[in-house]
Amino acid sequence: MLTSNLGYPRIGGNRELKKACEQYWSGKTSVKELINAGHSIRQQNWQIQKNAGIDLIPSNDFSFYDQVLDMSLTVGAIPERYHEVILNNKKTELDLYFAMARGYQKEGLDITAMEMTKWFDTNYHYIVPEFHKNQKFKLFSTKVVDEFNEAKYSGFVTKPVIIGAVSYLLLGKEKEAGFDRLDLIKNLLPVYLDVLDRLNDSGVEWVQFDEPFLALDLSDKAKEAFRFVYAEIRKAFPFINITIANYFDCFADNLDLALSLPVNVLHLDLVRCPKQLDDILESDKLSPKTQLSLGLVDGRNVWKNDFENSLALIHKAIRKIGQDRILIAPSCSLLHSPCDLDFETALNPEIKQWLAFAKQKLDEIVTLKQLAVGDQNAAEKLEENRLANTRRSTSDLVHNNKVKERVLAITDKHAQRESEFAIRKKIQHQALNLPLFPTTTIGSFPQTAEVRSWRAKFKKGKLSQQQYDELIARETEETIRFQEQIGIDVLVHGEFERNDMVEYFGEQLEGFAFTKYGWVQSYGSRCVKPPIIFGDVSRPAPMTVKWSSYAQTLTQKLVKGMLTGPVTILQWSFVRNDQPRSQTCTQIALAIRDEVCDLEKANIKVIQIDEPAIREGLPLRKADWQAYLQWAVRAFRIAASAVNDATQIHTHMCYSEFNDIIQNIADMDADVITIECSRSQMELLDAFADFNYPNEIGPGVYDIHSPRVPSKDEMLNLLEKAQAVIPAHQLWVNPDCGLKTRHWEETKKALIEMVSAAREIRQMI
């Protein structure tokens, strides 16, 4: 029985990678220093894993930006527009690499970055490969081989981890019509064989191909590509131990395919899909030589493993196929886990004993093996584990009967506004007295370095609560005055008091814990620190009423209250694994519901509940979508439905590709939805138009991700496009998203233009 890892966090325990990259990008350090930083993180990671006793330690899991981009460089999938960077400017491979990741605006060149999108259902973003008809590939970067050799010379025998050829193609995008990227498989495979050849020469014994698309619905063509690729690899390299890793969901319909592939090891995610172990062990298609890598330790969450539970699965496998054919592993790469729990000296010790971060998960993997083979030295650890998990399941910190009773008492009435939208619309029209094409913003205004410095000083005790509040109040007042001055119809307070749209709420809710160093890579050098939801969620006191009602006292105009929705809070946190996500989401929904009511009582007549994460929560397989959407939409409705008909509920979503879930978006029944639309030239509105979406919509008229100031005419043009497909009385005018990452200068100019565009279109009617 071997222990194996699929990948280790590469940001470094102290976010060394982030710092090294950002310093290099800003020109403060040399490429040599950056390369050294990468080298030392890799050495450290290999050493940690070796010390823990992991047999199969991964290499090539390190990346300066993203593992998919690494693969594009490996196979030479470098879009035309970057060739100049390297040809004309004599730049290094790393400069080319970062140009692809981040764009290149130097030396008279202005090249856009490659697109970025979410890695399956995680909050990690990868760089999307670009493909063309008849594209040729050739080995460009030898990173896979170099890192294997680097490890070897430092005394670590590693298992290179490579994105499999089929998943690599499926992760990408066709950049022209008239072909299917899977057609490129025959051109691509020789590069994979070339890499394997070189690894073989360097003495590689184990290679892991990540093929997470085996957890999704696959076309026949994709299945055929799998058979082709792995048959060819087997033929060329009969003696390398090949692993195929699938994670984030079951093999399900792809199980027979997976079992038929001529590889040595299949990795299964038994955290997301424990039931598939039976299917596999019972299958007559399981070849008598295939080894199974049991993904038992959760790579996507922070909880201690339940050893008893895992051992039951291991023993089941041993009985059927014997110890020698079993590997013990995390469910997926530990990339998605924070690095090391030992850093968390300020965490409540009762909660801390329930947790395991990446480093601790390695120990769990090794301990599970020791326990499974009957190593007496480990017996104590089983007892310890049982105790910690029992303490967790019975802890007062976790359980709050009042919350549980309240959830049980929810009926359909709680998820239903008093009257239907058509009636509410009339009442709101009278109560709010807004013009056609009302203007508003999505909530945040620029979080300047100054605003952030107040919060930092306040946290360090260098500003008193009163001093901090005064500064925030002044910034809020200025923002209200600015919006009044330029003639915005529904104002916002600006969210200056918030660090982050989830953390701000989590910090005020019971059932949430926060780490100091629990960073997880989101994309490139960007890391996030998700809160940990450990217990029943409740709201001890109002969370936003103070600042919203303060802002409302400053003006005769409407000020919109601003909340984060239950699905988004859930989605961007580490969540409990001792109850279904839907249950936790409902608890959060009740807390937000109370906040909505308190805002209404405080005379706030328009309340926005942001749900940018609804879409990213969709399960990987379509068959599971409706079950998820049902509880997610219901949670939103529970949060939104306790108010009077006259109170207008808004919601906001970014990345608005809603074609396939538009019915569910309509079921949320928000009075107004604001969406991201400008970059697609309003095309994303078509889903709403085709559906005859009945409620009001604010399609974003300018892209807040760029400092560029759009002109009135540009926005007017977009509004005309919107009006061509959605009736005027349903339309609002707003930017694509919050303005917190922008500077005041461009924000002011852009909003002035936006208000003029709205005024102009009103006159055209």
Interatomic CA distance for residues 421 and 696, integer angstroms: 10
Residue 675 in contact with Zn ion, rule: CB under 5 A: no
Which partner, ligand GLN, Zn ion, none, binds residue 610 by CB below 5 to 8 Å per kind?
ligand GLN
Interface positions, 337-366, toward ligand GLN (CB under 6 A): none
Residue pair 722/731 in contact (Cβ under 8 Å)? The answer is yes
Work out how close the CB of 445 gets to ligand GLN at its nearest, in angstroms, rounded to a whole number: 8
Rounded to a whole number, what is the distance in angstroms from the first to the last CA of the chain?
Answer: 75
> How many of the chain's residues bind Zn ion (CB under 5 A)?
3
Plot region of 603 (φ>0 → left; ψ -120 to 50 → alpha; else → beta): left
Half-sphere exposure of 129 toward its Cβ, with a 13 Å CA cutoff? 28
CA-CA distance, 473 to 488, in Å (whole number)? Answer: 20
Residue 175, CB-side half-sphere exposure with 13 Å CA sphere: 15
Nearer to ligand GLN, 125 or 392 (CB): 125
- The least distance separating ligand GLN from the CB of residue 436, rounded to whole angstroms, comes to 24
Task: Give dist(CA 362, CA 687) in Å, integer.
Answer: 46
**Whose Cβ is closer to ligand GLN: residue 74's or residue 734's?**
734
| Residue span binding Zn ion (CB under 5 A) among the ranges 262-270, 634-642, 647-655, 665-673 | 647-655
Provide, rounded to whole angstroms, the least separation between the CB of residue 561 and ligand GLN: 11
List alpha helices for 6-57, DSSP H. Answer: 16-25, 31-52
167 contacts which partner out of ligand GLN, Zn ion, none, CB within 5 to 8 A by kind? none
Task: Report the residue number, 232 or 696, with the smaller CB distance to ligand GLN.
Answer: 696
Angle, helices 307-321 vs 358-372, to 10°: value is 50
Identified binder of Zn ion from the candidate list 737, 754, 755, 758, rule CB under 5 A: 737
Residue 168's nearest CA partner among 218, 121, 211, 224 is: 211
Comparison of 211 and 610: residue with beta carbon closer to ligand GLN: 610
* Cβ 714 to ligand GLN shortest distance, Å: 22
Among 531, 565, 612, 710, binds ligand GLN (CB under 6 A): 612
Q: Which does 501 bind (CB under 5 to 8 A by kind): ligand GLN, Zn ion, none?
A: ligand GLN
Please identify, using beta-carbon distances, which residue of 442 and 590 lies nearer to ligand GLN.
442
Kindly list the distances between the CA atom of residue 523 and the CA atoms of 110, 118, 375, 628, 733, in Å, as whole numbers in the listed order.
22, 9, 41, 26, 31
Count of beta carbons in the 10 Å neighbourhood of residue 327:
21
The residues near 69 (Cβ < 8 Å, ≥ 6 apart) are 63, 97, 100, 101, 114, 126, 127
Residue 167 or 651: the one with the smaller Cβ distance to Zn ion is 651
Binding mask 597-636 for Zn ion (x = CB under 5 A): ---------------x------------------------
Cα–Cα–Cα angle for 655, 659, 665, nearest 5°?
75
- In the complex with ligand GLN, which residue's Cβ is closer, 576 or 740? 740
- The CA distance from 46 to 57, in Å, is 7
1 forms part of the interface with Zn ion (CB under 5 A)? no
Distance between CA 279 and CA 271 in Å, rounded? 15
Q: What is the DSSP string of 375-436?
A: -GGGHHHHHHHHHHHHHHHH-TTT--HHHHHHHHT--GGGGS-SS-HHHHHHHHHHHH-PPS
Of the candidate spans 275-283, 323-331, 679-687, 734-742, the one that interacts with ligand GLN by CB under 6 A turns out to be: 734-742
Rounded to 10 degrees, the C-alpha dihedral 167/169/170/171 comes to: 80
Q: What tokens were used for 494?
A: 């600006």
What is the smallest separation between the CB atom of 597 and ligand GLN, expressed in angstroms? 20
The answer to whether the beta carbons of residues 321 and 361 sit under 8 Å apart is: no
Return d(Cα 200, Cα 228) in angstroms, integer. 21
- Measured CA distances, 702 to 686, 718, 731 (Å): 17, 9, 15
State the Cα–Cα distance between residues 749 and 510, nearest whole angstrom: 41
In this chain, which residue has its C-beta nearest to ligand GLN?
Answer: 738
Stretch that binds ligand GLN, among 57-65, 84-92, 510-518, 735-743 (CB under 6 A): 735-743
Contact 326, 292 (CB under 8 A): yes
Q: Of the two residues 58 and 612, which places its CB atom closer to ligand GLN in the complex? A: 612
- Extract the runs of DSSP E, i.e. beta strands, from 539-614: 558-564, 606-610
443 vs 710 by CB, closer to ligand GLN: 443
Q: Which stretch binds Zn ion (CB under 5 A): 128-136, 178-186, 493-501, 649-657?
A: 649-657
Q: Which of 162, 737, 751, 761 binds ligand GLN (CB under 6 A)?
A: 737
Tell which one of 45, 208, 305, 444 touches ligand GLN (CB under 6 A): 444
- How is 594-646 classified by DSSP, letter by letter? HHHHHHHHTT--EEEEE-TTTGGG--SSGGGHHHHHHHHHHHHHHHHTTS-TT
CB 147 within 8 A of CB 42: yes
Both tokens of 220, joined, read 């026949």
**Candidate list 315, 414, 705, 729, residue with the active-site label:** 705
Beta strand pairing status for 672-675 and 648-653? Answer: parallel
Query: Minimum distance between the CB of residue 439 and ligand GLN, rounded to whole angstroms?
Result: 15
Nearer to ligand GLN, 78 or 654 (CB): 654
**CB 675 to Zn ion: min, Å:** 8
Q: CA nearest 211: which of 269, 159, 275, 139?
A: 269
705 is catalytic: yes
CB of 609 to Zn ion, least distance (A): 13
- Determine if 654 is a binding residue for Zn ion (CB under 5 A): yes
Find the binder of ligand GLN among 181, 605, 740, 742 (CB under 6 A). Answer: 740
442 contributes a contact to ligand GLN by CB under 6 A: yes
- Piece in contact with ligand GLN (CB under 6 A), picked from 48-56, 270-278, 333-341, 440-448: 440-448
Contact string (CB under 6 A) for ligand GLN, positions 390-429, x = contact? ----------------------------------------
Planar angle of CA 178, 231, 254, nearest 5 degrees: 70
* Residue 492 CB, nearest approach to ligand GLN (Å): 8
Considering CB distances under 5 to 8 angstroms, the limit depending on partner class, which of ligand GLN, Zn ion, none binds residue 451?
Answer: none
What are the two backbone dihedrals, phi and then psi, of residue 330, each rounded to the nearest 5 degrees?
A: -75, 165
Number of residues near ligand GLN (by CB under 6 A): 13
CB of 218 to ligand GLN, least distance (A): 32
Q: Which does 740 bind (CB under 5 to 8 A by kind): ligand GLN, Zn ion, none?
A: ligand GLN
- With CB under 6 A as the contact rule, the residue among 344, 610, 696, 753 that binds ligand GLN is 610
Q: Which is nearer to ligand GLN, 562 or 701 (CB)?
A: 562
Residues between 647 and 666 with contacts to ligand GLN, criterion CB under 6 A: 652, 654
Binding mask of the shown chain, residues 308 to 337, with x at each position contacting ligand GLN by CB under 6 A: ------------------------------
**How near is the Cβ of 734 to Zn ion at its closest, in Å?**
10
691 to 730: interface string for Zn ion, x by CB under 5 A? ----------------------------------------
Footprint (CB under 6 A) of ligand GLN, residues 545-574:
562
Q: Does 738 bind ligand GLN (CB under 6 A)?
A: yes
**By the 8 A CB rule, do 731 and 723 touch?**
yes
Q: Are the CB atoms for 730 and 722 separated by under 8 Å?
A: no
Q: Reduced to 3 states, what is the DSSP secondary structure of residue 737?
A: coil
Catalytic residues: 705
Q: Which residue ranges make up the site for Zn ion (CB under 5 A)?
A: 612, 654, 737
Q: Which residue ranges make up the site for ligand GLN (CB under 6 A)?
A: 442-444, 495, 501, 562, 610, 612, 652, 654, 737-738, 740
